[in-house]
Amino acid sequence: MTFAALALPFPFEREYMQLALLAALVVGATAPLIGTFLVQKQLSLLGDGIGHVAFAGVAAGLLLNVWPVWTALIAAVTGAVALEWLRSRGHTSGDLALSLFFYTGIAAGVVLTGLAGALDAGLLTYLFGSILTMSAGDAWTIVALAVFIAGTVAVTWRAMFTVVLDEESARVAGLPVMGLNLALSALTAVTVVAAMRVVGVLLVAALMVLPVASAQRVCHSFRATLLTSSAVGAFAGISGLVVARFADLAPGATIVLAAATLFAVCALWGRLR
Amino acid sequence: MSLRLAEAERVSFAYGAEPVLDGVDLTVEQGEFVALVGANGSGKSTLLRLLLGLERPQTGAVRLFGVDPRRLGERWRIGYVPQRAVLTTSLPATVEEIVAAGRLARRGWARRLRRQDREEVDHALESVALTDRRRDPAGSLSGGQQQRALIAKALVSRPELLILDEPVAGVDLDSQARFRDSLMHLVKDHGAAVLLVSHELGAVAEDLDRVVLLRHGAIAFDGAPDELASQGVNLGIHAADLPMWLESRRPHPDQPT
């Protein structure tokens, strides 16, 4: 896949920075859309747990010599659906089910990368992100996943909001509660994989949760929270990228720190209003 | 003959080895206002959950609008306010958004709300006297106002049967009076039936058609409120089984019945 570089000013004058800008913008805007529901369901760390399962998927890809994004997607979606199934059956509490996948994922990832002989710097690109080394194919894959996430949320957000309010009433109203919960888990997995190259599996949950925490400080309605968190995420993506370029820092970490700074600003604004 | 909206026929249910309901019969007909009362642990909430299709009876049959509750397609025909429903203060949602969520049963969960839906939301908010709070965060409402918002959410699909589980527990008197007005609007103006589980019948006491009393998982009484108040002792019904309002209406032992 190709990418036609635009004539943009510094710091986005280079093609790799434009690819990074595209990825940071779409991931920053879509990750909080999913995070808004996770935060209300008190599943803020779900993205973190699924991120670790995705890491095992990346390792499997390296071992099998398959593009790691596909194997990460398969592992993350499978893990997310299994986690929701365990949680909904009531046999395992949410945090225990999360711990189970969290540690199994990271351990399986280390073993598989060891078997693949890939315990090197290349692995760090998935753990902490490597937005500046993305190919055009990586960037368009991220855009496609983000469009899928945003489109699904646009159709289902009212129903998911109703489930967040009260699962039992939603069931009585005839909503497909189990299906919507599974869809949310699967979308979380897709978001993790989309964000993996931007901020890395270890920081992906931050991009889902911090913009939502910021929006909640200044918004009263659910719809406004959804849209504001998306805008905050996109702004964190761009500003983090700019800071990384100016200061020659790791962009994944500066994007997350930008999101944390925006939270502090929103918290202050919410308090002063 | 009135249409039977909810029916339980010889229903028995147990949580594990713990029996909760034993051979319960109950019907709610169109336009009826029925109170389901009984002491804590008598099986009231379980009976509601069976009627709503949230649990399955081990023996007997349950029907909503003549069919198995799980097979009922037009779910908007039921409005439901669950027990101890509270809105967390951290939830970023306005009162209007909470009420509008109740329209999905009528509109379809993947469809956008249209003008008619918004008019129904306006009407539901008006009927619980929350129009002026519609844009406020739901978490900023008092307990009684939150309950009214949840009742509006249940009313907004214009249900034919409204099922409420302890909707006014801990709610102030003003909110109870508004709650009563909302229910009577639904019963009288829309011909809906109401099945209400509550320990506090005071607000709706004079409007009830029937009282059904559950004791130890079985129906101990099913009839008019005055009949229960006057004949309760003869039926072996004790103070612990009765809501405060019914207890207060029982004649003094020295009074002729």
Of B85, B93, B104, nearest to A173 by CB-CB distance is: B104
Residue B122: per-residue pLDDT: 95
Please state the rounded mean pLDDT for residues B106-125: 90
- Residues of chain B found within 8 Å of residue A219, distances taken between Cβ atoms: 92
Test B93 with A169 for CB contact under 8 angstroms: no
Please check whether residue A223 touches B, CB under 8 A.
yes
Angle at B81 between CA B80 and CA B84, to 5 degrees: 150
Residue B137: per-residue pLDDT: 93
Residue B240: per-residue pLDDT: 61
Provide the mean pLDDT of chain B: 85
Q: Is the pLDDT of residue A112 over 50?
A: yes
Task: Indicate the pLDDT class of residue A242, thresholds 50, 70 and 90.
Answer: very high
Residue B107: per-residue pLDDT: 87
- Residues of chain A found within 8 Å of residue B73, distances taken between Cβ atoms: 174
Residue A92: per-residue pLDDT: 67
Please check whether residue B158 touches A, CB under 8 A.
no
Please check whether residue A169 touches B, CB under 8 A.
yes
Q: Is the pLDDT of residue B62 over 90?
A: yes
The secondary structure of chain B as a DSSP string is: ---EEEEEEEEEEEETTEEEEEEEEEEEETT-EEEEE-STTSSHHHHHHHHTTSS--SEEEEEETTB-GGG-S-GGGEEEE-TT----TT---BHHHHHHHTTHHHH-TTSPP-HHHHHHHHHHHHHTT-GGGTTSBGGGS-HHHHHHHHHHHHHTT--SEEEEESTTTT--HHHHHHHHHHHHIIIIIH--EEEEE-S--GGGGGG-SEEEEEETTEEEEEE-HHHHHHHTTTTT--GGGS-HHHHHHSPPTTS--
Residue A74 DSSP label: H
Test B109 with A158 for CB contact under 8 angstroms: yes
Residue A245: per-residue pLDDT: 93
Residue B85: per-residue pLDDT: 62
pLDDT digits (tens, 9 = 90+) for A62-106: 899 998 889 999 999 999 999 888 888 776 676 788 888 889 998
Residue B83: per-residue pLDDT: 79
Test B157 with A173 for CB contact under 8 angstroms: yes
Residue B136: per-residue pLDDT: 95
- Residues of chain A found within 8 Å of residue B80, distances taken between Cβ atoms: 168-169, 172-173
Taking one residue from A and the other from B, the number of pairs with CB-CB distance under 8 angstroms is 84
Give the separation between CA A192 and CA A132, rounded to whole angstroms.
18
Of A61-75, B37-51, B172-186, B229-243, the poorest mean pLDDT is in: B229-243
pLDDT digits (tens, 9 = 90+) for A157-202: 999 999 999 999 999 999 999 999 999 999 999 999 999 989 998 8
Pairwise pLDDT comparison (B68 vs A98), residue with the higher score? B68
Residue A212: per-residue pLDDT: 97
Q: Give residue B92's identity as a one-letter amino acid code.
A: P
pLDDT digits (tens, 9 = 90+) for B181-228: 878 888 888 789 999 998 767 677 788 899 998 988 999 889 988 887
Task: Kindly report the nearest CA distance between residue A148 and chain B, in angstroms.
Answer: 16
Please check whether residue A175 touches B, CB under 8 A.
yes
- The ipTM, to two decimals, is 0.87
Of B82, B91, B104, nearest to A168 by CB-CB distance is: B82
Please state the rounded mean pLDDT for residues B227-252: 65
Test A220 with B76 for CB contact under 8 angstroms: no
Please check whether residue B255 touches A, CB under 8 A.
no
* Residue A118 φ/ψ, nearest 5 degrees: -115, 25
The 8 Å CB, 24+ separation contacts for B179-185 are: B179/B128, B179/B147, B179/B148, B179/B151, B179/B203, B179/B204, B180/B204, B180/B207, B181/B127, B182/B127, B182/B128, B182/B148, B182/B151, B182/B152, B182/B155, B183/B33, B183/B207, B185/B127
Please state the rounded mean pLDDT for residues B73-87: 84
Task: Kindly report the nearest CA distance between residue B254 and chain A, in angstroms.
Answer: 47
Q: What is the reported pTM? A: 0.89
Please check whether residue B109 touches A, CB under 8 A.
yes
Q: Is the pLDDT of residue B252 over 60?
A: no
Please check whether residue B15 touches A, CB under 8 A.
no
Task: Kindly report the nearest CA distance between residue B148 and chain A, in angstroms.
Answer: 15
Task: Kindly report the nearest CA distance between residue A188 and chain B, in angstroms.
Answer: 20
- Residues of chain A found within 8 Å of residue B162, distances taken between Cβ atoms: none
Interface test with B, best of A165, A184, A232 (most B CBs within 10 A): A165
Residue B143: per-residue pLDDT: 81
Pairwise pLDDT comparison (B175 vs A268), residue with the higher score? A268
Please state the rounded mean pLDDT for residues B160-184: 81
Task: Indicate the pLDDT class of residue B43, thresholds 50, 70 and 90.
Answer: very high
Task: Kindly report the nearest CA distance between residue B109 and chain A, in angstroms.
Answer: 5
Residue B257: per-residue pLDDT: 45
Task: Indicate the pLDDT class of residue B241, thresholds 50, 70 and 90.
Answer: low
